[in-house]
Amino acid sequence: MFRSVRVSYGELGAAGKFFVYAILLLGLLLFAFPLYWMIITSLKELGDVHRMPMSWIPNPFKWDNYSQIFDDVPLLTYVWNTVIYVAITVFAVAISSALVAYAFARLKARGSGVLFAIVLGTMMIPPQVTLIPQYLLFNQFNWIDSYLPLVVPAFGGSAFIIFLLRQFFLGISKDLDEAVKIDGGGYATTFFRIILPLSIPALATAAILEFMYRWNDLIGPLIYLSTGDKYPLSLGLSNFTAAYAATPWNLLMAASMVAVIPPLLLFFFAQKYFIQGIVITGSKG
């Protein structure tokens, strides 16, 4: 019989700690290099991008690349479209998923387990299977070339977010529900005044995950949007070369940096809630 041996960090010797830090540093360099390459490329002249050997520090620094992308491409319009689209869909998915998750976690009814299994089963359906039927349906509604096909389905919630929040809600003591009932409160009072305030970490996790998905979403806008003034950042960047005869990699990387900064800032400032929500949700059930 073999026994698993667990060694805490404090029990490692100097050599063990050096090995751990070396592995972490290697992983850091591996994941940070693409971001570093994007930054230095965005500050180079176009002729220096393909120069060999590669220059690790731009010389000179072309800071005007960032002002040029706003002059050549309606980047502010893309950013504004993305912010509005992401804000509406994140709010819609978080609220609707929380309502459904609360029903599955607290309201016991015949067949609720089967319904929850069906909800989870929808995650196994490839999106390519429903892409054409959805397009035909939205075309009948005359919703093509608008954000309605992208925003309206968000009010139906997300199967994964429903599962995530349900697991969290199951860990909240039901004695609180009984206390609300004794005070004359109903399900709405329990949900909005008890469950939601206690579920901030899980809701923050759900919002961050949905934000990342919607901010980087390309397929949806590519299918349903055709007017350039309605493009979000993801679709605008994919058509960035249309304004030039060839791909201006330095300008494209500068525009990509503009698109990358908001998700990075969001994760850095909200990582405490994100990690807390994932850990707590994973320990409930």
pLDDT of residue 260: 87
Q: Where are the domains of the chain?
A: 9-66, 71-283
pLDDT of residue 283: 47
Distance CA 134, CA 136 (A): 5
pLDDT of residue 10: 59
pLDDT of residue 1: 44
Q: Which of 282, 219, 262, 257 has its CA nearest to residue 35? A: 257
Mean pLDDT by 10 residues, the chain (285 residues): 52 74 88 86 79 78 83 86 93 93 86 87 87 92 92 91 89 83 82 86 87 89 89 83 70 86 80 62 48
Alpha helices in the chain (DSSP H): 14-42, 46-49, 64-72, 75-106, 112-121, 127-140, 148-151, 159-170, 175-182, 187-190, 196-198, 200-215, 219-224, 233-238, 249-283
Whether domain 71-283 has CATH 1.10.3720.10: yes
Contact 125, 195 (CB under 8 A): no
Contact 169, 195 (CB under 8 A): yes
> Whole-model pTM?
0.79
